[in-house]
Amino acid sequence: MQIQGKVALVTGGAQGLGYAFVQALLDKEAKVSFCDINANQGEATLKQLADKYGPDNVMFQRCDVTSQEEMEALFKATKERYGQIDIVCNNAGTGGETYPQWEKVVDVNIKGMTRGSFIAFEYLRNDKGGNGGVIINISSAAGLSVNPMSPVYCATKTAIISLTRSLAVNEDVQKCGIRINALCPSFADTNLVKNISPFSLHDDEQTKSENSAKVTKFLNFHGIMATETVAESFLELVTDETKNGAVLRVSKGKGNEYCKIEVSV
């Protein structure tokens, strides 16, 4: 897919990886609509991007991906402004391993991703006035392995991969001209990574100190990527029309690795 002239929608786009994806798309001369739950950060990011790329090429709308109504309004507003939607990046995600945070992690990471995918189908499908297109769901390397420090986060990211792969091989989705892929970054330079709070059954100060040391050691071992590096891998999944149902892991040490996952049909 050639990105120039296309319209993209990115959730969680005000900062972190989402911001890197938005900027990468704008660099390729797409028009981009992005949302974020943080309205102040979103407006600040919009001003920055509008000054650089032009106010006609980017829009922001505050949106909570756990709300069906707000997500539908986001897609509708994007279509009304730009006339079409060709690329959807379901990026919004969060972390947290204790109650009530873990419930929000499930709501945002799984339900939000599912909601974004299903609404995207209605706008992209070429049997209902869309042009076809591509959906990129942002999972994580954590979805491809087990991590005792983040069991809930890992579970949600594994679910995203399964959702994406299953939809990609669905005949109805394929007949509508839609590709759908999963991007699985390892640690990147984002607030989510900086604020990792590992799961533990104990909350005493000694345990917290030990867990903090474990996190530091774990991050140092795997390395932390620049968000721009992840954005390059994102663009690969968008532009390569041979990629459907792809699961692309990207890490500082090994770069891009496509993961083979069995299909049961």
Positions marked active-site: 153
> What tokens were used for 32?
């981009």
> What tokens were used for 237?
């999944």
CA nearest to 58, candidates 80, 89, 87, 25: 25
Amino acid (1-letter code) at residue 216: T
Residues 25 and 7: their CA atoms lie apart, in Å, by 9
Residues 86 and 91: their CA atoms lie apart, in Å, by 16
93, 111 in Cβ contact below 8 A? no
Pairing between strand 255-258 and 87-90?
Answer: unpaired
**DSSP assigned state of 188:** B
Residues 114 and 66: their CA atoms lie apart, in Å, by 10
53, 152 in Cβ contact below 8 A? no
Q: Does an H or E element contain 135, and which?
A: strand 133-138
CA nearest to 57, candidates 87, 36, 78, 72: 78
